[in-house]
Amino acid sequence: MTEESFKNGQVLLIDKPLEWTSFQVVNKLRWHIKQRFKLKKIKVGHAGTLDPLATGLLILCTGNETKNIDSYQAQIKEYTGIFTVGATTPSYDLETSIDKTFEISHITPHLIEETTKQFIGVIQQKPPIFSAIKHEGKRLYDIARKGETAEIKSREITIFDFEITKIDLPNLHFRVVCSKGTYIRSLAFDFGKALNSGAHLTALRRTKIGDFSVDNAFSVESFIEKLTAE
């Protein structure tokens, strides 16, 4: 890790901690890179936001490599996590409190397996109201937090693989491989609805982006240690 390599362009794989925003990770690492090499400025950007309540792979690009951020964002992604059935929240995850509860006694392993098949392939998905998408110039989450509503259009996404890896009701552990633009929170909500119940996302981890794996990623602390030790 040299000043020249950061300016020419590095691809950094970071395992985002829980409750950090993706922007906080970028800011933290940019500050340490600037401090290490006494730079006034250095370009650092991330290739695909992770929600604060999610952990896992975040690709950061520095210097000239920031020009390629869009190509990294477009790659297929893999996630693991937990859907909790029997209840929904307005944000489709734990950011907001439960607003409705549902029966789950009818949910069987066979029903779960059959329901997952409905979501594999090219499907229409409506993003959550609690998202950064803009509607008439305003972020949807700003509209939602004011208690207001907005018409959200469905968008086409692709689910390449979707499996429930463990059933521990009310928790369903899952793995999903999907295209850019997929909201796993929306998948949780829609999956619960398809089960004739309700569901929300209670854990999420991004494990892969294209050929990049979280197994090869630095924690924020370990990256800083490596940077300052050299």
Active-site positions read: 51
**Alpha-carbon span 55 to 177, nearest angstrom:** 16
Kind of pairing between the strands at 218-219 and 11-16 = parallel
| Paired tokens of 116 | 């997952």
* H/E segment holding residue 226: helix 220-229
Q: What is the DSSP string of 30-46?
A: HHHHHHHHT-S---EEE
Place of tokens 């494990």: 207
Contacts of 13 (CB under 8 A, 6+ apart): 57, 58, 59, 60, 212, 214, 216, 217, 218
In the chain, beta strands by DSSP E: 11-16, 44-46, 54-62, 77-85, 87-88, 100-101, 121-125, 134-135, 138-139, 155-168, 171-178, 199-209, 212-213, 218-219
Q: CA 79, CA 86: separation in Å to the nearest integer?
A: 22
Tokens 């000239």 belong to which residue?
A: 64
Q: Where do runs of H (alpha helix) occur along 68-201? A: 69-73, 109-117, 140-145, 184-194
